[in-house]
Structure 1
């Protein structure tokens, strides 16, 4: 409670508010101090006071994928994960808790960490959370309270900026590649401002919103976006007089797409990675249809939560994917822990705007961005392959 109260004073919050749930990012091992902090909470008899799910850890406890984390870091990471279990947190180990049944009701206050989870919670579900950092998140979960500031307050959720995509071709907006691209552009353009996207003719689907928010939250400090006619709060503000309007042109979208690829060469491929945020069941269905039983020539890593893994196992789908050469990664992902082969000149293809943002710095791999179909065809061919429509 002292941590929460001191944070509230630093943030200028007038007081604390009760929260309905939490999503904990601080259980990902970054060093021994995080493990020792969690173990001290356990030793003090702490338990979470509200529902608390866990973001990805540093290990795949399901045994799907081999994590190359060496001792003593491996043992410390495992101790950290065990400490959070003892604190009463749900063993969800996913960056997409909203796919695992953790979906706070509209208008409720929560304390969530993990940038994509935060932006989805605020924008798509209409619950209210700030971007809670590591260790403040678990302090809020134990105390059941959060500082009353920022996006918890209705007046701070009103859009001040319009991001107009009406000038983009309908075919582009209907394509899956559009949403990570636009999210990446949105994040760079708006920073931490609250914007409303206009010009979207129909609901793009939850996976598209997930991809947009994740890219926006990794390229900017986005915690909340609205899409007119799509997200639940967008129609509650009456007439919006935006301070700024950004008219997105096809040239801006093309440049944003180009920025997602950082590889210096496009004639080789070492790995494909999808699932940031974690893959949904629908996305696995799309992967299976595109793969159609073919064998892969380069590794394809499909990151997901254990709740999705359970569903895949029920129907024998996991075995079928693995027989084609797909490596399913659960509880973690290839960008936050060493799973990819250790090569600093590697080339990674992905359909994830978030992977594209973080992979070069976290893994040393150059990135090629493409559609899911591009990723599958490239993994089968063993070299970069882009559909004509994506050029």
Structure 2
């Protein structure tokens, strides 16, 4: 199938709107050709993952766009960067990488992107309308955007995301197309205890299992009796996108494209049915912990995806003014930080021993102390997946309540069982 560009798109690619815009249009057009897309789609917004420093090439690419006069054509928020520009926490990134990371963040500001610096833009007011085409990067943001908001995006990687934002276009393929959004398998959790499904600990575990079982297929979860809340769906999607390549999930009776099982399946029979058992959940739960023993912890980290204000309220309730023997690193965005500062919650949390991390998180930039053999406790399925490789810390997975109690007493505490 050949790609057809409009007269305007050909004009932009030819350089009539500046070299920066031309470069991005050529990137999008060539990507579309490789993907077999017949055309480009106009998009309503973008969320940019490529502003996180991984090397000098990313900084130089962004600066070249700036030099070419490029500006984003649609609303564009930014995923986490490599620095905490709010000054809440100490990032151990040294020169010259630190300077290049700052230059990169500044280049994206000059391109017209919003200084959101969060992996949860949907909780910071960036919520595209149902059915609209967008170009989002960052795996948890993508899966939330598709599944919970019902907007349409593929998993756009670094550089392609900003190219979409500047050109205002995306290739017409994948999850932008209705026929690719139909569920082809059923993930049935009806055999699991209602108490487990109602617990906070359930959703990262379910998501981790779902991602491993499903891969990049579109599935529909059945057996959920009521809406579990956005933070639970956030945790499920983040874990599923980390353990698999999930870009869209449905939950029958909960998510917008699945008012019923039949609707999610497009009135067709599923290719596969997965009936989740207690043993499957127990194994998925155990797999989230990589520490050889559970007799020590060196840090607790929460907020992947970034903590919402509601999660901070629960954190403060669980700490209840007690002093922590082990620090809790609480990662969040500026949107939540502003509320914490407004009501004084941040000061109270920090007085207890919480280290608030803004604009970034502990698994993408060096914040945690460099300690050989260290152990991290977390309630995040995404942290559990990435922390061993990115930080060198082994992981113990637990509920938020157990994470807090463990930080208070200075050693692992486990009270919730699957």
Query: CA separation in 2, counterparts of 1:343 and 1:124?
Result: 39
**Structure 2 unaligned residues grouped into runs of 5+:** 1-24
Alignment partner of 1:215 out of 210, 214, 239: 239
CA offsets 1:42-95 (integer angstroms, 9 cap, x no match): 000000000000000000000000000000000000000000000000000000
Q: Is the 8 A contact 1:275 1:303 kept in 2?
A: yes
Q: Scaled by the length of structure 1, what TM-score is found? A: 0.99
Q: Is the 8 A contact 1:370 1:390 kept in 2?
A: no
Query: CA separation in 1, counterparts of 2:409 and 2:106?
Result: 41
Q: How large is the Cα RMSD of the aligned pairs? A: 0.7
Instruction: Kindly indicate whether residue 306 of structure 2 is the aligned counterpart of residue 278 of structure 1.
Output: yes
Map 1:8-47; keep pairs closer than 5 Å: 8-47=32-71
Instruction: Tell me what 1:94 maps to.
Output: 118
SS in 2 for 1:85: helix
Instruction: Tell me what 1:297 maps to.
Output: 325
Query: CA separation in 2, counterparts of 1:93 and 1:18?
Result: 24
SS in 2 for 1:81: helix
Q: Is the 8 A contact 1:344 1:363 kept in 2?
A: no
Query: CA separation in 2, counterparts of 1:57 and 1:98?
Result: 17
Map 1:315-330; keep pairs closer than 5 Å: 315-330=343-358
Map 1:259-274; keep pairs closer than 5 Å: 259-274=287-302
SS in 2 for 1:390: coil
CA offsets 1:219-267 (integer angstroms, 9 cap, x no match): 0000000000000001344534100000000000010000000001110
Instruction: Tell me what 2:253 maps to.
Output: 229
Instruction: Tell me what 2:417 maps to.
Output: 390
Alignment partner of 1:351 out of 362, 373, 379: 379
Alignment partner of 2:147 out of 116, 123, 127: 123
Cα drift, residue 299 of structure 1: 1.1
Query: CA separation in 1, counterparts of 2:395 and 2:241?
Result: 19
Query: CA separation in 2, counterparts of 1:309 and 1:143?
Result: 32
Cα drift, residue 218 of structure 1: 0.2
Instruction: Kindly indicate whether residue 406 of structure 2 is the aligned counterpart of residue 378 of structure 1.
Output: yes
CA offsets 1:303-332 (integer angstroms, 9 cap, x no match): 000110000000011000000000000000
Cα drift, residue 278 of structure 1: 0.1
**Aligned residue pair count:** 390
Query: CA separation in 2, counterparts of 1:343 and 1:99?
Result: 33
CA offsets 1:12-69 (integer angstroms, 9 cap, x no match): 1111000000000000000000000000000000000000000000000000000000
Cα drift, residue 124 of structure 1: 0.1
Alignment partner of 1:312 out of 326, 334, 340: 340
Runs of 4+ in 1 over 2 A off after TM superposition: 235-240
Map 1:199-214; keep pairs closer than 5 Å: 199-214=223-238
Query: CA separation in 1, counterparts of 2:236 and 2:146?
Result: 13
Instruction: Tell me what 2:196 maps to.
Output: 172
Structure possessing the higher radius of gyration over alpha carbons: 2
Q: Is the 8 A contact 1:350 1:368 kept in 2?
A: yes
